[in-house]
Chains A and B, each alone.
Chain A
Amino acid sequence: MALHLMDEKGVALDQQRFTWRELTPEPISKLDDDAFTRVRVILMNGIEQEANRFQHLCARFNAHLRLPLARIRRVEHHQQTLVNWLLPPDQSGLETTIAYEQVAIEVTAAVAMKEPDQYLAQAFRFGMLEDFDHLYRYSALLDRLEGKDANNITQCYTDIAPGRPTMVEHRAPEDDLREHYDRSKAHPLSKLHTLTIFAAEYQTRDFYMNIGPTFADPVARQLYAEIASIEEQHVTQYESLADPNESWLEKWLLYEACEVYNYYSCLQSETNPRLKKIWERFVDYELGHLQVVMELFKQHERRDPAEVLPAELPEPIRFESHREFVRQVLSQEVDLTAQGTRFLKGVDVNESAATRAYRDYLNRDGSATETVAADYIWQPGTEVAHRHAMPRQTM
């Protein structure tokens, strides 16, 4: 049954409360929970983090909105705490990284398949193939540094293979910007998709920037530096897809709707009953936020929220393996590149001089994404499992 976005009242803002004990729940099991439960936890942390970031920015430019922003933001902050604290401590930083890339692949693929706007769908596919390659590079690191199998995290849902090589993903900033959707014409789903993927990529960038220096291995440190730079490009790309002519309040409305949509999608697919309750609670909290922002929208902009929001929430995001779709995109679009805001075939022939110069300089001393994965082919149980020791003389 579809959710009526503007009619559902949810939980009133002043009833949204937490205790410290609630905010630090028992984590999910790295071994026993479904990989998509972890995907949902990571995605929702990203959604909340971006909500917090947007609301702070909004407060800096809108004195009259500071109080409602502060009130809603406090709850969003605590929602993010509860969600992110669901990650277990036995999941190493590198294992969490593998999960982040699974989010980037599977959620972006889900969105790309449903996106009604062809140009936006192309942008999502473009970014997805790059994240697909990151999963492969990080898996090589996990195998070759720690002797661990990335598939323990991805649980066979996602292929671990090369995509568009990270080394050629580096582009000049002018080739990362895209055409934005038109706020007055775009399908509401396009707006929700853009915000969702933008939020997921932004948290990935931030996560890599925080965790990169915690590694001792010098190649790992380089690898995080290199892939974080691509995540920064992705944030640039996805951010530029949104119409800059949307007003602050119009954007805020979309952010709240996006949160409802994502929590609602999680609720529809969750297999862990404990988490299902959390998603359900937060759908109601976000509906409560939406009610407040709809009132502010009416009051300050004298506009009907129905101009911006869909009456019913679109079909939820499908948290499932998109193996066939990803393989198809890989076979058809791996050699795609970007020049200005256009996507073109042929990395060698269709790139700007600025991108070539930028990339050549960055890669001048080598690229960790190449070093770490040289000749790497993912094997069940790591590549060590397929190596045979030569007998040696006893010492």
Chain B
Amino acid sequence: MTTPTSTGMNRTGIQMSPIQAGRLLEITEERPSRPGEELTELVQARESFYRESSPVGTVPPAGSMKGMATTVLETIKGHKPTVLIDKLGERLAFERTGVRLYEAVLTKLDALGSWDGGPTREQLMQIRDEELQHFQMLKETIEGLGADPTAMTPSADITAVEGSGPLMVISDPRTTLSQALHSLLIIEAADLEGWNLLIELADQIGQSDMADRFRAAEQTEQRHAMLVRQWLTQSVKADAERQMSSAQGGG
């Protein structure tokens, strides 16, 4: 069976086309490159756009901010609640997409199976459910602030763009469970940093109860990241072992 680590007809490198490569390199001999060039024009062209562009969007005014939640927000002294709402919206979107990502990985596990020291169905289901719990907790937190949990905040938007790569890898039927786990590792690492930032933000504005809830979530996410890392390491080691034993067996 062909696996992603089997040797095959990968045609992307220059050494796979010795004759055509020789012809191709004629142009580099005729027009040698100038290493160290700073691409000043390109940088300047981008710079002007960077300076002049508006942000991707703004944090929506909380509809019920005027109502009962005003008291909650008033306790956040000296702090613009929009920063918190933006970041809460980011984490909410991330955890919600996390539920879908773990569902996709579960399907991959069911279809392809696992390995010694790899994930089990139960483990993946538990992580999915914990992502869901985090999402629900964030939804309640946002509602408690009188903000709208259905809004896509600017940070939620950006985080979805960031997560689009891992999503593609995980949902691609050609990728292995191990490759999907590699993408999950990126997700879990970013998630951990997201929670750490939220904890600091909640502490800074004197919301200790909120910070405690986020700490509990962060602990759970640490476990997720550790598990994914272990499963991935086992997979790569097992691949290498298989390769070594087949090399020895084949003489």
Residues of A at under 8 Å CB distance from B? 26, 29-32, 88-90, 92, 144-149, 151-152, 215-218, 220, 380-382, 384-385, 387-395
From B58, B135, B167, A146 is in contact (CB under 8 Å) with: B167
A-side contacts of B101, CB under 8 Å: 147
Contact, CB under 8 Å: A26 / B57: no
B133 touches A (CB below 8 Å): yes
From B132, B149, B167, A389 is in contact (CB under 8 Å) with: B132
A-side contacts of B54, CB under 8 Å: 26, 29
Contact, CB under 8 Å: B150 / A149: yes
- Mostly, the B contact residues are helix
Residue interface bits B92-106, CB-to-A below 8 A is 1, else 0: 010011111100100
In the complex, what's the smallest C-beta–C-beta distance from B210 to chain A, in angstroms?
A: 20
From A90, A215, A217, A392, B157 is in contact (CB under 8 Å) with: A90
Known contacts being A90-B56, A389-B132, A395-B123, is A31 close to B150, with CB within 8 Å? Answer: no
B-side contacts of A26, CB under 8 Å: 52-54
Question: Which residue of B has the minimal Cβ distance to A143?
Answer: B100
Question: Which residue of B has the minimal Cβ distance to A216?
Answer: B172
Contact, CB under 8 Å: A384 / B132: yes
Contact, CB under 8 Å: B130 / A381: no
Q: Which of A31, A147, A152, A391 has most B Cβ within 10 Å? A: A147
B164 touches A (CB below 8 Å): yes
Contact, CB under 8 Å: A390 / B129: yes
B-side contacts of A90, CB under 8 Å: 56, 157-158, 160-161
From B56, B125, B135, A31 is in contact (CB under 8 Å) with: B56
A89 to B164, CA, bound (A): 12
B227 touches A (CB below 8 Å): yes
A-side contacts of B52, CB under 8 Å: 26
A-side contacts of B104, CB under 8 Å: 145, 217
Within residues 87 to 122 of chain B, which ones have a CB less than 8 A from any CB in chain A?
Answer: 93, 96-101, 104, 122
B171 touches A (CB below 8 Å): yes
- Mostly, the A contact residues are loop
A184 to B102, CA, bound (A): 61
A215 to B174, CA, bound (A): 12
B-side contacts of A146, CB under 8 Å: 97, 100, 160, 167
B-side contacts of A391, CB under 8 Å: 129
Known contacts being A390-B129, A392-B125, A395-B227, is A381 close to B136, with CB within 8 Å? Answer: no
Question: Which residue of A has the minimal Cβ distance to B153?
Answer: A31
Would you list the 6 A-B pairs with minimal beta carbon distance, nearest first? A31-B57, A216-B172, A147-B97, A217-B171, A389-B129, A147-B100
Contact, CB under 8 Å: B100 / A145: yes
B154 touches A (CB below 8 Å): yes
Contact, CB under 8 Å: B129 / A31: no
A-side contacts of B132, CB under 8 Å: 384, 387-389
In the complex, what's the smallest C-beta–C-beta distance from A389 to chain B, in angstroms?
A: 4
A-side contacts of B216, CB under 8 Å: none
A-side contacts of B157, CB under 8 Å: 30-31, 90
In the complex, what's the smallest C-beta–C-beta distance from A139 to chain B, in angstroms?
A: 14
In the complex, what's the smallest C-beta–C-beta distance from B94 to chain A, in angstroms?
A: 9
19 chain-A/chain-B pairs, Cβ below 8 angstroms: A26-B54, A29-B56, A30-B56, A30-B157, A32-B57, A92-B160, A144-B100, A145-B100, A145-B167, A147-B97, A148-B97, A152-B150, A216-B167, A217-B171, A381-B149, A387-B132, A388-B132, A388-B136, A392-B125
B-side contacts of A393, CB under 8 Å: 126
Known contacts being A384-B132, A387-B132, is A216 close to B171, with CB within 8 Å? Answer: yes
B182 touches A (CB below 8 Å): no
Contact, CB under 8 Å: B57 / A30: yes
Contact, CB under 8 Å: A395 / B161: no
In the complex, what's the smallest C-beta–C-beta distance from A94 to chain B, in angstroms?
A: 10
Besides the known contacts A395-B123, A395-B223, 10 further A-B residue pairs in the complex with CB atoms under 8 A apart: A90-B157, A146-B97, A147-B98, A147-B100, A147-B101, A215-B171, A216-B173, A381-B139, A385-B149, A388-B136
Question: Which residue of B has the minimal Cβ distance to A220?
Answer: B171
B169 touches A (CB below 8 Å): yes
B-side contacts of A385, CB under 8 Å: 96, 135, 139, 149-150
In the complex, what's the smallest C-beta–C-beta distance from B154 to chain A, in angstroms?
A: 6
Residue interface bits B45-59, CB-to-A below 8 A is 1, else 0: 000000011111110
A382 to B54, CA, bound (A): 29
From B55, B158, B164, B173, A92 is in contact (CB under 8 Å) with: B164
B-side contacts of A392, CB under 8 Å: 122, 125-126, 129
B-side contacts of A145, CB under 8 Å: 100, 104, 167, 171
Contact, CB under 8 Å: A151 / B150: yes
B16 touches A (CB below 8 Å): no
A391 to B54, CA, bound (A): 44
Contact, CB under 8 Å: B58 / A32: yes
Residue interface bits B14-46, CB-to-A below 8 A is 1, else 0: 000000000000000000000000000000000
